[in-house]
């Protein structure tokens, strides 16, 4: 009766090892999932803010264009200007921050070049003018700034 | 050699059953956690939208007050009115919905009574006028509407 018993024992040991490995794998997956679940809520909050704020930025643009066009009614214009200040503050309260662009070096991570001006318009490679303001949300980009860039100077070729 | 072999076999079967149970328990915990993780993200998205939209509602209120006050500059006024329409649409795009109030029965879940008018101002217990618009976000309330309510008629006391 020894041989079958030993065979059964060996199979039992193998089965134990397989069950133990299966358990440990699931344990590791569980710990990973727990870490991910903690980050899920934060990731969701950022997504939610992004989804809410993105459609509101063109509304602010339109309000700014109206203000730039100006008005012959100073009282009404002042009311709208006050709304504009509140709007910017509300976006900041929601976690959004405008991107500083004019005079800064062109940065492809946050700037989108829509035109160039000759080098005598400012320091080459810097932003001459902002066409549409860019916005950040925390460490992420809500939308890039659309900017006009000062062209780099023609390189001086010493062999010519 | 039979008795010890049988004893080992019985212990092995018990150990197998315990390992199997431990595995199944962890599997159930894992599935629960996975469902919770999915809900966490959704809950976070809703929180994020709420946090972004809430500070923007008073901005819309201010814009509406400016428009109600009116202007002597029709072109500027039309620009601002267009911005107002865009604003409402952007809030809808972000998942917010205005609450219908005027003429509806007063509902303490979405209405906040700020004043009463006599019963001859409309059907008793209904909303006569909206002072501040209320907004929903999905199934939740973003902010209640502030309303003026038509007072209930004095009850007729047959014993008096």
CA neighbor of B87 nearest in space, from A76, A98, A83, A142:
A83
* Strands, sheet with B111-117, edge to edge from the N-terminal-most edge strand: B111-117, B145-150, B127-132
What integer is the mean pLDDT of B38-57? 94
Answer whether A45 sits within 8 Å of B42, measured CB to CB. no
What are A2's two structure tokens?
């020894």
Across the interface, of A29, A70, A95, the residue whose CB is closest to B30 is: A29
A79, closest residue in chain B (CA to CA): B66
Please, how many CA atoms are within 13 Å of residue B41, restricted to the half-sphere of its CB?
A: 10
DSSP B82-138: HHHHHHHHHHHHTTEEEPP-TTSBP-TTTEEEEEEE-GGGSSTTBEEEEEE--EEET
**Of residues B114, B151, B69, the one with CA closest to residue A82:** B69
Indicate whether A65 pLDDT > 50: yes
| Yes or no, beta carbons of A30 and B34 under 8 Å apart | no
pLDDT tens across A70-111, in order? 878 888 888 889 999 999 999 999 999 999 999 999 999 999
What does the pLDDT look like over B102-128, one tens digit per residue?
Answer: 999 999 999 999 999 988 768 899 999
Contact B81, A80 (CB under 8 A): no
pLDDT for B94 beyond 60: yes
- pTM of the predicted model, to two decimals? 0.77
d(CA B151, CA B25): 60
Digit-coded pLDDT (tens) for A106-153: 999 999 999 999 887 688 999 999 999 999 998 999 999 999 999 987
H/E stretch holding B11: helix B2-53
- Between B113 and B9, where is the model more confident? B113
Task: Compute the average pLDDT of residues B28-45.
Answer: 90
- Pairing relation of β-strands B135-137 and B140-143? antiparallel
So what's the pLDDT on residue B56? 96
Residues from chain B contacting residue A78 (CB–CB below 8 Å): none
Could you tell me which of A48, A47, A83, A79 has the C-alpha nearest to residue A62? A83
Chains A, B: CB contacts under 8 A, how many? 188
pLDDT value of position A121: 67
B8 contacts on A by Cβ (under 8 Å): 9
Comparing B139 with B4, the larger pLDDT belongs to B139
Tell me which of A5 and A52 has the higher pLDDT.
A52
Which pLDDT score is estimated for A157?
67
Beta bridge partners of B145: B111
């Amino acid at each position: 009766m020894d041989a079958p018993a030993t065979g059964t024992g060996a199979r039992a040991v193998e089965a134990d090892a397989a069950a133990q490995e299966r358990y440990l794998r699931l344990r590791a997956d569980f710990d990973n999932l727990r870490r991910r679940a903690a980050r899920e809520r934060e990731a969701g909050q950022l997504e939610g803010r992004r989804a809410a704020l993105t459609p509101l930025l063109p509304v602010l643009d339109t309000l700014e264009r109206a203000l730039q066009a100006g008005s012959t009614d100073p009282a009404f214009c002042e009311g709208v200007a006050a709304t504009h200040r509140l709007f910017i503050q509300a976006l900041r309260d929601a976690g959004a921050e405008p991107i500083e662009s004019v005079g800064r070096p062109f940065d492809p991570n946050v700037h989108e070049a829509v035109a160039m001006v000759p080098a005598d318009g400012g320091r080459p490679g810097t932003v001459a003018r902002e066409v549409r303001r860019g916005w950040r949300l925390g460490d992420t980009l809500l939308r890039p700034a659309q900017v006009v860039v000062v062209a780099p100077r023609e390189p001086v070729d010493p062999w010519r």
